[in-house]
Amino acid sequence: MLSVADSFQNRVDLLVGLRGLESAAFARTVEVSFQGGSLRFIGREDFVAMKVFAGGPQDIADAKAAISAARASLDTALLRRLAKQFGHDASELLEEMLAD
C-alpha cells in the first residue's frame, strides 16, 4: 500500500495487490474527471468488500457509509460474492451491515 497525503490532510491509499481481490475488479472501476484529467477508482462493491475484509473500526465505518450512500444502486449479489471470497468473517460482517 502507498499512502499519498497533501498539506490539507487529505489522504489517498493506493493498493497494488490484495489477497482475494479478483482481477475483474479492475474492469469494474469508475472513471472520474479531475482537474482536466481523469482518475479511476475501484467500484463501490469492491470497495465495500475490501473494507469488510480489513475489518478495522475506520474500515467498517467507511463500508457502512458507502452502503448507506447508495443502497438502492448497490449490486448486493456481486457484493456478497466478493465478500465471500475474502472469507467467512468478511461475509458475516457484510451480512450484518446489510441487515441494518
Quick check: pTM over 0.85? no
70: which residues sit within 8 A by CB, 6+ positions away? 44
d(CA 12, CA 31) in angstroms, rounded, equals 16
State which residues form the domain around 12: 2-99
pLDDT tens track for 72-94: 999 999 999 999 998 999 999 99
pLDDT tens track for 21-74: 788 988 899 998 888 888 888 899 999 999 999 999 999 999 999 999 989 999
Mean pLDDT, range 7-21, rounded to an integer: 74
Total domains, the chain: 1
Beta bridge partners of 5: 11
The CA-atom distances, in angstroms, between 33 and each of 6, 30, 36, 37, 39 are: 19, 10, 7, 6, 6
- pLDDT bin (cut points 50, 70, 90) of residue 4 is confident
